[in-house]
């Protein structure tokens, strides 16, 4: 008789963050503003979790609640099993926080001095603080800047120091609010690789609020799409793409013309285009509902005197996933910032 033994049974994920029916309302002059409504979320140990949403979605409000800086209006949230409202003192030592809009510390003190200062707020021994400063600055690529005063550092290096500060207390979970916003590609990439290393090699849980699709797509194990205070979807980027249930047809056509007419065709649910003026070619991305639509789009384009040089299929991007759930793209939604 064959007995099948599962040698590595899949471990049930351990929830490090549990949010239940969370609501947060702000009183404003005009009345009430609901920043979070019926939010339910679980974040698992060792994962990079992305909270993806446009301006005013409620991302920072949720991070402020989870990091004990703000109380919920109703509902509950726990971090490492501690209630953020009732056991804030127990939550604080096990978390780290870093925000893209934050200052890393005191301008007239060196990066090293700042990190030592913050380590002392957690009661870390000098020896341990030195060790962590050396490790973090190495991983984040600012060892050479450690003895420079903060005001002398570029935006990118200042942000690296801010991120290091979020990890100085060896936290179980780190909350990051737009960690790479406004940074150049190299710095953003260094930070993302650092976050991956922290999650995958050190088992730390990373919670990132972002409206950066690259971040969601490249480093997050799971993402929650949030808009107007509500979580609209939560899954792995791959599973969310499947849920879109549509394909993207990319066409290179010329000469470029307005492509609004494509949007009006049956079976097309979205169109975007970029134009290469030098080559007089447009790359058009068309979100189609089924295979038959492509031939019709091609006919319409040729009927308008355009030539289709190439066409291929792609899976939807996270931005297209976002458009499906939110009903509009990020660029459009930027304008509704509060």
> Which spans in 56-125 are helix H?
59-66, 88-91, 111-121
- CB 223 to ligand ATP: min, Å: 14
Residue 204 interacts with, from ligand ATP, Mg ion, none (CB under 5-8 Å by kind): none
Non-local (6+) Cβ contacts of 328 within 8 A are: none
Q: How far apart are CA 6 and CA 140, in angstroms?
A: 39
Residue 208 interacts with, from ligand ATP, Mg ion, none (CB under 5-8 Å by kind): none
Residue 35 interacts with, from Mg ion, ligand ATP, none (CB under 5-8 Å by kind): ligand ATP
Residue 7 interacts with, from ligand ATP, Mg ion, none (CB under 5-8 Å by kind): none
The closest residue (CB) to Mg ion is 60
By CB under 6 A, what part of segment 193-212 binds ligand ATP? 211
333 is a contact residue toward Mg ion (CB under 5 A): no
> Mapping DSSP to helix (H, G, I), strand (E, B) and coil, where does residue 75 land?
strand
Q: What's the Cα-to-Cα distance from 234 to each of 15, 23, 159, 223, rounded to whole Å?
A: 15, 18, 28, 6
By CB under 6 A, what part of segment 53-82 binds ligand ATP? 53, 55-61
> Which spans in 171-282 are helix H?
185-200, 213-219, 237-244, 260-263
Of the residues 35, 52, 60, 262, which one makes contact with Mg ion according to CB under 5 A = 60
List the one residue out of 124, 220, 226 whose CA is nearest residue 171. Answer: 124
Residue 125 interacts with, from Mg ion, ligand ATP, none (CB under 5-8 Å by kind): none
Contact 306, 257 (CB under 8 A): yes
Q: Beta 95-99 vs 173-177: how paired, if at all?
A: parallel
- CB 318 to ligand ATP: min, Å: 16
For the chain, what percentages of helix, strand and coil (3-state, to nearest 5) are there? Answer: 35, 30, 35
> Per-residue contact track with ligand ATP, 11 to 30, x per CB under 6 A?
---------------x-x--
Q: How far apart are CA 280 and CA 95, in angstroms?
A: 52
- CB 252 to ligand ATP: min, Å: 34
- CB 188 to ligand ATP: min, Å: 17
The window from 2-10, 41-49, 59-67, 267-275 that contacts Mg ion (CB under 5 A) reads 59-67
> Per-residue contact track with ligand ATP, 298 to 327, x per CB under 6 A?
------------------------------
Of the residues 16, 19, 35, 146, which one makes contact with ligand ATP according to CB under 6 A = 35
List the one residue out of 56, 134, 63 whose CA is nearest residue 334. Answer: 56
- CB 182 to ligand ATP: min, Å: 13
Closer residue to ligand ATP in complex, CB, 69/186: 69
Q: How far apart are CA 215 and CA 176, in angstroms?
A: 12
Contact 50, 222 (CB under 8 A): yes
Residue 89 interacts with, from Mg ion, ligand ATP, none (CB under 5-8 Å by kind): none
Rounded to 5 degrees, what angle do the CA atoms 117, 118, 123 make?
A: 90
Q: Which residues would be at the binding site for ligand ATP (CB under 6 A)? A: 26, 28, 33, 35, 53, 55-61, 211, 337-338
């Amino acid at each position: 008789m064959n007995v099948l033994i599962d040698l590595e049974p899949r471990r049930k994920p351990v929830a490090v963050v549990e949010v239940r029916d969370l609501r947060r309302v702000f009183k404003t002059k005009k009345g009430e503003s609901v920043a979070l409504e019926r939010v339910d979320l679980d974040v698992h140990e060792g994962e990079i979790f992305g909270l993806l949403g446009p301006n005013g979605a409620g991302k920072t409000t949720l991070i402020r609640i989870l990091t004990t800086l703000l109380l919920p209006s109703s509902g509950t949230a726990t971090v490492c099993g501690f209630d953020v409202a009732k056991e804030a003192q127990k939550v604080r030592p096990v978390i780290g926080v870093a925000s893209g809009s934050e200052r890393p510390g005191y301008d007239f003190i060196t990066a090293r001095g700042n990190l030592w200062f913050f380590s002392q707020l957690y009661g870390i021994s000098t020896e341990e603080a030195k060790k962590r400063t050396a490790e973090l600055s190495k991983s984040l690529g600012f060892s050479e800047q450690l003895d420079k005063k903060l005001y002398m550092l570029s935006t990118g290096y200042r942000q690296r120091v801010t991120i290091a500060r979020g990890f100085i207390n060896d936290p179980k979970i780190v909350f990051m609010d737009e960690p790479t916003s406004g940074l150049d590609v190299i710095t953003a990439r260094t930070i993302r690789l650092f976050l991956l290393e922290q999650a995958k090699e050190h088992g730390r849980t990373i919670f990132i609020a972002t409206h950066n699709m690259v971040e969601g797509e490249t480093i997050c194990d799971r993402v929650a799409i949030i808009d107007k205070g509500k979580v609209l979807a939560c899954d792995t980027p791959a599973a969310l793409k499947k849920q879109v249930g549509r394909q993207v047809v990319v066409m290179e056509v010329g000469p470029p013309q307005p492509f609004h007419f494509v949007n009006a065709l049956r079976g097309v649910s979205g169109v975007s285009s970029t134009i290469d003026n030098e080559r007089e070619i447009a790359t058009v991305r068309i979100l189609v509902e089924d295979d038959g639509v492509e031939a019709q789009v091609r006919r319409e384009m040729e009927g308008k005197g355009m030539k289709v040089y190439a066409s291929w299929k792609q899976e939807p991007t996270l931005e297209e996933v976002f458009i499906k759930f939110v009903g509009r793209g990020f660029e459009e939604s930027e304008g509704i910032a509060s």
